[in-house]
Amino acid sequence: MDLLNTNLLSVITYLPLVGMLLVLVTPAQQTRLIKWGAIAFSLIPLALSIAAWAGYDRTQGGYQYLESMVWFPQINSVYKVGVDGISLPLVVLTCFLTPLAMIFSLGIEKNPKAYFALFFLLQTTVLGVFIALDLILFFLFYEISLVPMYFLISQWGGVNRRYASFKFILYTMFASLGMLLAIQVIGLASKSFDITYLESALGRPFTGNNQVDYFGWDPTVWKAIAFIAFSIAFALKIPIWPLHTWLPDAHTEAPTGGSMMLAGILLKLGGYGFFRLVMPLFPDVFSQPILPGLSVFGAPFTYGVLLALLAFLSILFGAFAAWGQTDFKRLVAYSSVNHMGFVALGIAAAAAALAPDSTVREIDATIAGSGAVLQMVTHGLSSAAMFALVGVVYERAHTRDLTKYGGLWTIMPIYGAVLIFCAMGSLGLPGLAGFVSEFMVTRGAWSVHTLLTILSMAGLLMTGIYILKAIQKVLHGPLGEEWRHHPLKDMNFAEILGVAPLMGAMLVLGVWPALALNVINVGVQGLLR
Partner 1 sequence: MSHESITTLLWLAPLPPLLAFAVIALFTNRYRQTSSTIAVLSMVASLVMSFVVFFNVWQMKDLGKKPIGGQIGWLPTGETVLNIGVAVDPLGATFLFMVPLACTLIFIYSVGYMSADPRYTRFFAYLSLFAGSMMGLVVSDNLLTLFIFWELMGFCSYSLIGFFYQKPSAYKAAVKAFMTTRVGDMLLLLGMVYLYAQTGTLNFHDILHNEEVLKGLAAAPAVLGLGISAAGLIAILIFGGTVGKSAQWPLHVWLPDAMEGPTPVSAMIHAATMVSAGIFMLLRFFPLLVASGEHGTAFTLVGLIGAFTAFLGATIAVAQYDIKRVLAFSTISQLGFMVAAVGIGAYVAAAFHLLTHAFFKALLFLASGSVIHGVEHGHHHVSHSGHSSHSSHSSHSSQLGHEGQEGHGGDGHDAPDDHDVHAFDPQDMRNMGGLRNRMPITFVTFLIGGLALAGFPFITAGFWSKDEIFADAYYHGLVKGDGLAALVFVVLVLSALMTAFYTMRQIAMTFLGQPRTEAAAHASESVPSMTFPLIVLAVFALFIGFINIPKDFPVFGALVGDGAYWLKNFIASMLLEKPEPLAFNLIPVLFSIGVALGGLGLGWYVYARNPLQAGQTDPVEKLPVFNFLANRWYWDELYRKIFINPLQTIADNYSRVVDKNVIDRILEGGYALGARVTKGFAEFDRVVITGFSDAVGRFFRGLGDWGRELQTGQVQNYLLSGLIMVIAIVVFFLFLFQ
List the interface residues with partner 1, window 255-314 (CB under 8 A).
none
185 near partner 1, judged by CB under 8 A: yes
362 near partner 1, judged by CB under 8 A: yes
Considering the complex, what minimum distance in angstroms separates the CB of residue 302 from partner 1?
A: 18
How far apart, in whole angstroms, are the C-alpha atoms of residue 67 and residue 72?
15
| Residue selected from 314, 366, 375, 426 as contacting partner 1 according to rule CB under 8 A | 366
Residues 469-488 that bind partner 1 (CB under 8 A): 469, 472, 475-479, 484
Per-position b or e across 315-326, b if 16+ CB within 10 A of its CB: bbbbbbbbbebe
Considering the complex, what minimum distance in angstroms separates the CB of residue 245 from partner 1?
A: 5
231 near partner 1, judged by CB under 8 A: no
500 near partner 1, judged by CB under 8 A: no
324 near partner 1, judged by CB under 8 A: yes
| Residue selected from 83, 97, 114, 388 as contacting partner 1 according to rule CB under 8 A | 114
Considering the complex, what minimum distance in angstroms separates the CB of residue 67 from partner 1?
A: 26
Q: How far is CA 257 from CA 82, 166, 328, in A?
A: 28, 19, 16
211 near partner 1, judged by CB under 8 A: no
Residue 408, C-beta contacts closer than 8 angstroms, at least 6 positions apart: 393, 415, 416, 474, 475, 479, 483, 488
373 near partner 1, judged by CB under 8 A: no
Per-position b or e across 42-54, b if 16+ CB within 10 A of its CB: bebbbebbeebbe
| Residue selected from 199, 253, 364, 495 as contacting partner 1 according to rule CB under 8 A | 364
Q: What DSSP assignment string belongs to 11-58?
A: HHHHHHHHHHHHHHHS-TT-HHHHHHHHHHHHHHHHHHHHHHHHHS-T
Pick the closest to residue 488 from 387, 409, 423, 385 (CA basis): 409
219 near partner 1, judged by CB under 8 A: no
Of the pair 211, 245, the CB lying nearest partner 1 is at 245
155 near partner 1, judged by CB under 8 A: yes
62 near partner 1, judged by CB under 8 A: no
CA angle 224, 229, 231 (to 5 degrees): 95
**433 forms bridges with which residues in the sheet?**
none
Residue 271, C-beta contacts closer than 8 angstroms, at least 6 positions apart: 234, 238, 340, 343, 344, 347, 372, 373, 376
How far apart, in whole angstroms, are the C-alpha atoms of residue 250 and residue 164?
5
User: Would you give the binding string for partner 1 spanning residues 399-418, x where CB under 8 A is met?
Assistant: --------x-xxx-----x-
457 near partner 1, judged by CB under 8 A: yes
Residues 71-110 that bind partner 1 (CB under 8 A): 75
Considering the complex, what minimum distance in angstroms separates the CB of residue 428 from partner 1?
A: 9
Choose one: 251-259, 266-274, 275-283, 444-452; the region binding partner 1 (CB under 8 A).
444-452
How far apart, in whole angstroms, are the C-alpha atoms of residue 78 and residue 327?
46
Considering the complex, what minimum distance in angstroms separates the CB of residue 377 from partner 1?
A: 15
53 near partner 1, judged by CB under 8 A: no
Choose one: 10-18, 279-287, 392-400, 437-445; the region binding partner 1 (CB under 8 A).
437-445
Q: How far is CA 341 from CA 96, 320, 377, in A?
A: 23, 13, 14
Residues 236-255 that bind partner 1 (CB under 8 A): 242, 244-245, 248
Taking phi over 0 as left and psi of -120 to 50 as alpha, with beta for the rest, 208 belongs to: left
Considering the complex, what minimum distance in angstroms separates the CB of residue 363 from partner 1?
A: 5
Of the pair 288, 466, the CB lying nearest partner 1 is at 466
Host H or E run for residue 66:
strand 64-72
Q: How far is CA 119 from CA 9, 153, 394, in A?
A: 19, 12, 21
Residues 416-435 that bind partner 1 (CB under 8 A): 417, 420, 424, 429-431, 435
How far apart, in whole angstroms, are the C-alpha atoms of residue 284 and residue 528?
12
Of the pair 263, 445, the CB lying nearest partner 1 is at 445
367 near partner 1, judged by CB under 8 A: yes
User: Would you give the binding string for partner 1 spanning residues 135-154, x where CB under 8 A is met?
Assistant: ----------------x--x
